[in-house]
């Protein structure tokens, strides 16, 4: 079992269990922020816990942002984590438990009378499990996600504040924190108040495997394709029907199949069909478009526009001179590596402290985005740190107790003077 030097954090895992049991799943397409009111349930609990610690807290009850400050030496250092969990899997009735001293092999999350009913976390599907032999793993019953993304980060930041609040004799920088809503639906910084946050440099605590430090991310856009069709009776449809579903599938078929998420890794970008719904008269498909390279990112968006234009031209005569396809592209965030080039000291410091814990650091590109992506472009440089969680956004999510403890210690060291 891997062990790391840790400070006092007897409540870290207890906190984590408390937080993951609160359903904070966000929702796409909502107009209001937060996108779900239940995110306030966790924000209110955290606010109360901060007040009990004696930490000055500032709760934006309208938009569900929670800020706090623990005074120390200047300049301040900020830490950011998000409270919501992904819409991709249920966050209702999360039942966390510890698989103590994992010995390898399958972990039965939920037994069943038949093989089909059993839910198993297996190294055959997730080989990374075997790197945790001897560690204590936090899992669920396999019917929900765990919520380590990003309640592990929330718990580790709360542990940081609790540690220094309980040890006023230990010098530390002024610690400023922000817990955000709706990060999973790309709205985590929509109403983020930099003045209330108060830090000019920070870390998001929203990564995965212990040792990961991330300062590169995708350039990201959403693409919404709307296809108008014309419905007729199938028995007399020849030269009359325009099936919006078929035209939408034709559009999708023109995108390179090898450039889908399931076929890409590292710095490889992709087109991802996220949702598709509709019928003969109207069909809508929503994509996310990703690439680390800004030039290739622009080329991807331009290609989508060319495909839509081609199909509009193809069907214009049959549609009576009208365009059947309407494509809406919206940029979401950009690769934070460019503005972080001048603040690599934040990355270097985190690497040094990980090594002091006996952990060899490494950098990997974020195949996604964090709140720090947008904050970095707003002038708050914000690399991303590991939390000790794995298999995010699904029911096979798990976290390592030992890695979470090491990540919590990393935050304590980063804030120390």
* Active-site amino acid positions: 84, 183
Question: Helix or strand or coil: residue 90?
Answer: coil
Interatomic CA distance for residues 123 and 150, integer angstroms: 23
- Between strands 65-70 and 56-60, the pairing is antiparallel
Cβ atoms 91, 392 nearer than 8 A: no
Backbone dihedral angles phi then psi of residue 190, each to the nearest 5 degrees: -60, -40
Question: Helix or strand or coil: residue 286?
Answer: strand
Q: Identify which of 369, 413, 112, 379 has the alpha carbon closest to the alpha carbon of residue 218.
A: 369
**How many other CB atoms sit within 10 Å of the CB of residue 283?**
22
**103-112, long-range: CB within 8 Å, 24+ apart, which pairs?**
103/133, 103/134, 104/129, 104/130, 104/133, 107/137, 107/139, 109/139, 109/140, 109/141, 109/142, 109/395, 109/396, 110/141, 110/142, 110/143
Interatomic CA distance for residues 22 and 33, integer angstroms: 18
Question: Helix or strand or coil: residue 374?
Answer: helix
β-partners of residue 287 are 223, 273
Q: What is the end-to-end Cα distance of the chain in Å, rounded?
A: 31
């Amino acid at each position: 079992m891997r062990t790391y030097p840790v400070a006092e954090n007897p409540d870290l895992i207890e906190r984590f269990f408390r937080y993951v049991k609160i359903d904070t799943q966000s929702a796409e397409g909502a107009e209001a922020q937060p996108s779900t009111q239940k995110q306030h349930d966790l924000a209110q609990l955290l606010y109360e816990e901060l007040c009990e610690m004696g930490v000055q807290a500032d709760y934006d009850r309208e938009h569900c942002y929670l800020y706090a400050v623990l005074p120390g030496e200047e300049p301040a250092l900020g830490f950011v984590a998000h409270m919501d969990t992904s819409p991709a899997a249920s966050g209702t009735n999360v039942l966390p438990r510890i698989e103590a001293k994992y010995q390898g092999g399958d972990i039965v999350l939920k037994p069943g009378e038949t093989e089909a009913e059993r839910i198993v976390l297996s190294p055959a599907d997730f080989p990374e499990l075997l790197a945790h032999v001897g560690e204590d793993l936090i899992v669920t019953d396999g019917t929900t996600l765990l919520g380590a993304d990003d309640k592990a980060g929330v718990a580790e930041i709360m542990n940081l504040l609790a540690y220094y609040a309980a040890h006023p004799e230990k010098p530390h920088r002024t610690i400023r924190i922000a817990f955000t809503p709706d990060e999973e639906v790309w709205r985590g910084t929509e109403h983020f108040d930099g003045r209330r946050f108060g830090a000019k440099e920070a870390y998001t605590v929203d990564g995965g495997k212990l040792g990961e430090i991330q300062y590169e991310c995708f350039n990201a856009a959403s693409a919404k394709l709307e296809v108008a069709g014309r419905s007729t009776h199938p028995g007399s449809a020849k030269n009359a029907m325009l099936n919006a579903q078929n035209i939408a599938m034709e559009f999708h078929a023109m995108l390179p199949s090898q450039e889908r998420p399931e076929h890409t890794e590292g710095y490889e970008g992709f087109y991802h069909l996220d949702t598709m719904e509709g019928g003969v008269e109207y069909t809508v498909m929503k994509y996310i478009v990703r690439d680390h390279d800004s030039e290739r990112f622009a080329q991807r968006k331009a290609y989508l526009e060319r495909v839509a234009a081609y199909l509009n031209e193809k069907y214009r005569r049959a549609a009576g001179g009208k365009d059947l396809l309407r494509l809406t592209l919206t940029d979401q965030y950009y690769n934070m590596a460019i503005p972080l080039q001048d603040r690599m000291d934040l990355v270097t410091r985190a690497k040094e402290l990980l090594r002091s814990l006996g952990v060899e650091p490494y950098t990997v590109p974020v195949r996604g985005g964090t709140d720090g992506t947008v904050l970095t472009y707003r002038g708050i440089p914000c690399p991303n740190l590991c939390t000790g969680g794995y298999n995010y956004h699904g029911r096979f999510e798990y976290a390592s107790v030992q890695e979470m403890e090491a990540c919590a210690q990393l935050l304590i060291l980063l804030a120390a003077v």
